[in-house]
């Protein structure tokens, strides 16, 4: 959270935001491109490292099993119910509803290009996650379906990547539109919410920890790509 706060204050608040009518400067775009490239490179490398070790006998797979057994033995029912409620914020139905509401609000306010970018980013992440799941075909951990019933393949976590992209991009949209004093709260709140939603998947037992981390990484990389694309589109449109 401290890292996200620092990033939000220094980069998002001071470099990536342009006031209404102001064209994003080449310095801002260069900083955005460098930061985005670093995020994509780090996320891609981390994802690859995890993917290599999730097979039977791999270090990540052994860690997942130990952590899952520990949580099953030590996390109480009330705690699981709390996380089961939190995890609904990352459900596909929740994100679809959020996508429609935000897109409609942006169109009504006259931000049609921003609405298109918002919808394209969410749809692209959903497609990316579907493809990755089909590639790895990792079976979900055995879990109690009375809290949350997980279906489909496990790796990477769609709730984790969806939360990173959905709420992360929402904070980007709000940074574009709201006064500067709201920028830091928006970035930190989005990071906290996405992290909590992803973590909830482990506590309710429908994902291994590595599934969630991989979802954060794939979602973070896609979010970086989308933000860079939207900023460059804004720059060249005004140019």
What is the full per-residue pLDDT of the chain (239 aa) written as tens digits? 555 555 555 555 555 554 444 555 666 667 767 777 777 888 888 888 888 877 777 888 888 888 988 888 888 888 888 998 999 999 999 999 999 999 999 999 888 888 999 999 999 999 999 998 888 888 888 766 667 777 778 888 989 999 999 999 999 898 888 888 888 888 888 999 999 999 999 998 888 899 999 999 999 889 988 888 888 777 766 55
Q: What is the DSSP letter of 9?
A: I
Q: How far apart are CA 174 and CA 179, in angstroms?
A: 9
Residue 121 is predicted with a pLDDT of 92
Q: What angle do CA 33, 34, 35 make, to 5 degrees?
A: 95
Select which of 10, 17, 143, 159 is catalytic. 159
Select which of 10, 15, 207, 235 is catalytic. 207
CA separation (Å) from 181 to 8, 24, 93? Answer: 11, 19, 31
Residue 14 is predicted with a pLDDT of 52
Residue carrying the six token digits 């801002």: 28
pTM of the prediction? 0.81
Residue 95: count of CB within 10 angstroms of its CB: 21
The yes-or-no answer on residue 207 being catalytic is: yes
């Amino acid at each position: 959270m401290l890292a996200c706060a620092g990033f939000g204050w220094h980069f998002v608040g001071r470099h990536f935001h342009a006031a209404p009518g102001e064209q994003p400067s080449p310095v801002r775009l260069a900083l955005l491109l460098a930061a985005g490239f670093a995020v994509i490179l780090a996320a891609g490398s981390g994802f690859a490292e995890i993917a290599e070790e999730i097979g039977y006998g791999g270090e990540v797979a052994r860690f997942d099993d130990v952590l899952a057994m520990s949580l099953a033995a030590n996390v109480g029912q009330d705690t699981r119910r709390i996380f089961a409620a939190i995890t609904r914020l990352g459900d596909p139905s929740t994100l679809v509803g959020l996508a429609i509401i935000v897109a409609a609000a942006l169109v009504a306010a006259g931000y049609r290009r921003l609405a298109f970018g918002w919808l394209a980013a969410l749809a692209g992440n959903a497609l990316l996650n579907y493809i990755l799941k089909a590639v790895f075909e990792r079976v979900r951990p055995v879990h109690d379906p009375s809290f949350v019933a997980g279906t489909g393949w496990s790796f990477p976590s769609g709730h984790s990547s969806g939360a990173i992209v959905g709420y992360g991009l929402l904070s980007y949209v709000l940074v574009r539109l709201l006064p500067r004093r709201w920028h830091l709260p928006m970035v930190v709140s989005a990071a906290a919410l996405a992290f909590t939603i992803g973590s909830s998947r482990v506590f309710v037992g429908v994902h291994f920890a590595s599934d969630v981390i991989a979802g954060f990484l794939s979602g973070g990389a896609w979010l970086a790509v989308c933000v860079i694309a939207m900023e460059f589109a804004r720059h060249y449109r005004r140019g």
